[in-house]
Chains A and B, each alone.
Chain A
Amino acid sequence: MDAVTQNNNQQAQRKAAMAVLAHAEASEIAARLRTLALPGHQDLREPENGLVMLRGRVGGDGAPFNLGEATVSRAAVRLASGEVGFGYTLGRNSEKARLIALCDALVQSRDFSASIERDVIAPLRERLMIRRKQAAAETAATKVDFYTMVRGEG
């Protein structure tokens, strides 16, 4: 595997992990991480709250426009072994941003990427999917079934 492909694979893996973590509660992530023997790590950047301007597209698929802002928290964590992870999440929970950054660093670490996926990301993903499936099933029950009244002319 060449370096570029490897890099893209890892990026896809990090993104997939972040997509799950952003939907989890900070306490859920923390509880999952407690089951691992974590390596030494430190804040590369203190968690910080700020804003991101959310964009839509004209007509849903056209040129972008600014819809309004959202609060976002971000952090960066470095493992003792050198990997740097970044954490971004909607909202103002800086602890959650730090935990996501830590997970992102662990995903990149040769020693931890397997166990973080197995013990943290996978169970959180499963919970997220259960929640989404339930919501989709409740929504599906409100789908309209049309039927046509047959006119009596035969």
Chain B
Amino acid sequence: MYVAVKGGERAIENAHRLLANARRGDQNVAEVTLDQISEQLGLAVDRVMSEGSLYDRELAALAIKQARGDLIEAIFLVRAFRATLPRFGASEPVDTGAMRVQRRVSSTFKDIPGGQILGPTFDYTHRLLDPALAEGFMPEVPATAEAATAPTPRVTDILGRAGLIESSPRSEDGASVGDLTREPLNFPAARDLRLQNLARGDEGFLLAMGYSTQRGYGRNHPFAGEIRFGEVEVEFFAEDAGFAVPLGSIELTECQMVNQFKGSATEAPCFTRGYGLAFGQSERKTMSMALVDRALRARELGEEATAPAQDEEFVMSHSDNVQATGFVEHLKLPHYVDFQSELGLLRKLRQEFAKANAPHTMKEAAE
């Protein structure tokens, strides 16, 4: 039974006022602007867009500011915002092969068409704190070189042409695409739903799950076939215009993981693959996602599924940090009545215990 308890309104109101002040911090320090967050904390914005499942840099920056830099709180704010807008429909699937690449590396082939392009990366930095960044740092103008006009085909497409890797699963034109924001999740879940779940899943959770496969809990022998980051064009079929209209471009990171073979009496052995895709520059996220995507294909590939990362119900039910934080953090809300009944039960149990042990204790005392 729930008992309504009133009270605490003024305390709540004042707590929120105090929060607004704590968020602002020392008012002698300049206020951070959304542009500053978007431009200078860009990877935090990328993460909030990915896991908030909403591509809008300005809103993600606002959410980060409002959440005082707590990214899971910011993701929560963005998810709540998306529920306030109508959905016009779904875009045409983006073509990552036509990406204007800003970074593109492969750990499987040194000489890939289009080359290894490092782009803006933390790789090969020494991870030493740089005091020069503390204030007034002006970076050098970026170096330039003549850009090649040659295309940068996906590494998996090159392997695919030689039949060395399995091809991506196709679907019929016009087949419906699963959407876990519209229909409740059922298991077993198809690959489209699994990828949607992983794309908005918590980076830390996916990192740990991916790492667990490398440490032997569902090992799948991965190579980073290719990681690419850059800009892709988005088109949307507009009913009113009667054709697919360009909406502009978004930044994406894609990871193609190449894994050990499958084959059968009728099919020649070939590499298998796992796939990762996320908004912005989200390399750790897409690599982890690709590892977990591959692990979750255990059943389909006839592998023994014994590890947590291969258990789709386990992975998909715990990957969402908004759901997870909601359930964990609800424990701090008032549970007074629940607790009273537990307390009543415990007192009764203790009385029974005391009664059962009473003669024994008296005898001991007499001796």
Contacts and interface: CB of A to CB of B under 8 A. Distances in A.
Interface of A: 11, 14-15, 18-19, 22-23, 48-72, 74, 76, 86, 88-92, 104, 132-144, 146
B71 interface: no
Interface stretch (B5-13, B23-31, B192-200, B358-366): B192-200
B168 A71 contact: no
Given A53-B89, A71-B59, A88-B245, 6 more contacts: A22-B247, A22-B249, A66-B181, A68-B196, A90-B247, A143-B118
Nearest to B177: A64
B92 interface: yes
A72 B248 CA distance: 10
Contact of B177 (A65, A104, A140): A65
Given A22-B247, A63-B169, A67-B199, A144 B116 contact: yes
A55 B94 contact: yes
B93 A56 contact: yes
Contacts of B96: 56-57, 60
Interface string B150-181: 00001011000000000111110001011111
B246 interface: yes
Contacts of B273: 59
Contacts of A65: 177-178, 191-193, 195-196
B69 interface: no
Contact of A51 (B88, B110, B119): B88
Contacts of A53: 87, 89-91, 179
B147 A89 contact: no
A39 B93 CA distance: 37
Nearest to A23: B248
Contacts of A15: 243-246
B145 interface: yes
B254 interface: yes
A124 B117 CA distance: 29
A55 B117 CA distance: 26
A69 B275 contact: no
15 contacts: A11-B243, A52-B90, A58-B191, A63-B191, A70-B54, A70-B56, A71-B59, A72-B247, A86-B245, A133-B147, A134-B144, A138-B143, A139-B117, A141-B144, A142-B103
Contact of A60 (B54, B168, B192): B168
B115 interface: yes
B101 interface: yes
Contacts of A18: 245-246
B326 to A, nearest CB: 19
Contacts of A138: 142-144
A52 B142 contact: no
A50 B87 contact: yes
A93 B132 CA distance: 38
A137 B117 CA distance: 12
A62 B170 contact: yes
Contact of B248 (A22, A57, A69, A143): A22
A70 B142 contact: no
Contacts of A19: 233, 246
